Amino acid sequence: MILEAEKPALADEFNPLLSAEARLDNAAALLGLDDGMRKVMRVPAREVTVNIPVSLDDGRLEVFTGYRVQHSIARGPAKGGIRYAPDVTLDEVRALASWMTWKCAVTNVPFGGGKGGIICDPTLLSPGELERMTRRYTAQLYEFIGPEIDVPAPDVNTNEQTMAWIMDTYSMRAGHTQTAVVTGKPIDLGGSRGRAEATGRGCMVVTEQALRRFGLERGNARVVIQGFGNVGGMAAKLMERAGFNVIAIVEYDGAVYNDKGLDIRALAEHRQKTGSVVDFEGGENLGREEAFFLETDVLMPAARENVITSQNAHRIRAKILCEGANGPTTYLADPILREMGVFVIPDILANAGGVTVSYFEWVQDRMGYFWNEQLVNDRLEEIMINSFRDVVAYAEKHEVDNRTAAYMLALDRVAFAIKLRGIYA
């Protein structure tokens, strides 16, 4: 969602790759990394572009363009989602792949960063057309993915069914069932319990850690969430259940507000019936901007990139900004938030719960032994709390904001791995 007030001073502000590179350069300079190491970490290890012919249901042949970018494999196989959307660009996929590198490093998960996408409008494709497109995409990437190479996962407009198709196609080519080639699969095909809730749960865990720094308890914390999908919707559900006061949900077509707290379960049922959060009996309608800029303890943008910019960052009235989405804040908005004293939990930390439980799924697949949900959740909480403490401690030690600290910590870990391995010639 791009709010109406957003009118970028620079067109480049909305390019996620430029934001990712600017933050990398800033952290690298503060770490004192040499130019050679910066060059290595600025560019992907591999980029693959494929053109995907698909037989449509009406007999026509269409060709879709797909990408897979592997930013880093210094600390382990590349890891990252695959998205289907008409606005997928190579720059976007490059940026998202680099964010996955830093996300895995911040949480100390032994993966590198990868990302993929296909330029298409999945709402215009039948299930059969989506399956044929997915299987052909997988076949064309066969030599570039695998449990030891690159492990895809769901992302925008893809799901566990998409992952099942990828796993099956890869397994048929390999000649044996290989469940560890993807994560985010159905539980019956080697998926992990707790995976669907993982990103939202991770956001909740780090939010509670941040609240403690302000002397606030769950029951006294007001939360505004932008997005009611897999991340925002799950975070809202889990936070309400844990005792947080979720006062507003902001969606693409409007917002709903209740200063005493929304009944998230009832709201989800209302949205399922009507297709919208507006006109919910348990709250009042608000404009998207009015709700997004409410005075609150926690603001969680959990939808798409570039919703907080240099043009609207000064309007944020939250003590804590927990970035459930990837890249919701532009690089030019960072200094504004810093000057305002907003406590930012950056995306590469806040939404790392998903990749953490994806790592758990990969581990379970490879050893053929699966954990119960409580064990998954306990281990996720431990990693998220430790990662939050690492970032905050790094910020205090180096006297920088949390986002800069998270990038510095991630770059430090990746650079250390590269130096230990050396450059193969």
Count of beta carbons in the 10 Å neighbourhood of residue 424: 4
Q: Is 204 left (phi over 0), alpha (psi -120 to 50) or beta?
A: alpha
63 exposure class (CB count in 10 Å sphere: 0-12, 13-18, 19+): exposed
Taking the C-alpha atoms of residue 235 and residue 242, their distance in angstroms, rounded to an integer, is 10
Tokens of 314: 């000064």
Q: Cβ contacts of residue 82 below 8 Å, gap of 6+?
A: 68, 115, 116, 117, 118, 152, 153, 154, 155, 158, 162, 166
Is residue 242 within 8 Å of residue 231, measured between CB atoms?
no
What phi and psi, each to the nearest 5 degrees, are found at residue 73?
Answer: -130, 20
Other beta carbons within 10 angstroms of residue 318's beta carbon come to 23
- Measured CA to CA, the distance from residue 65 to residue 78 in angstroms comes to 21
Query: 97 with 80: CB under 8 angstroms?
Result: yes
Token pair recorded at residue 406: 């998270």
How many CB atoms lie under 10 A from the CB of residue 48? 17
Separation of CA 321 from chain center: 15
Q: Determine the Cα–Cα distance for residues 164 and 180; give it in Å rounded to an integer.
A: 11
Rounded-to-integer distance, Cα 362 and Cα 182, Å: 8
Which structure tokens are listed for 65?
Answer: 């363009």
The number of C-alpha atoms within 13 Å of 296 and in the hemisphere containing its C-beta is 29
Question: Which candidate, 137, 198, 164, places its Cα nearest to that of 353?
Answer: 198
Structure tokens of 35? 């130019």
Please list the helix, strand and coil fractions of the chain in percent, rounded to the nearest 5, in that order. 50, 20, 30
Residue 115 is a catalytic residue: yes
Strand partners, 110: none
Q: Which of 103, 115, 185, 237 is catalytic?
A: 115
| The residue to which tokens 């590269």 are assigned | 418
Residues labelled catalytic: 115
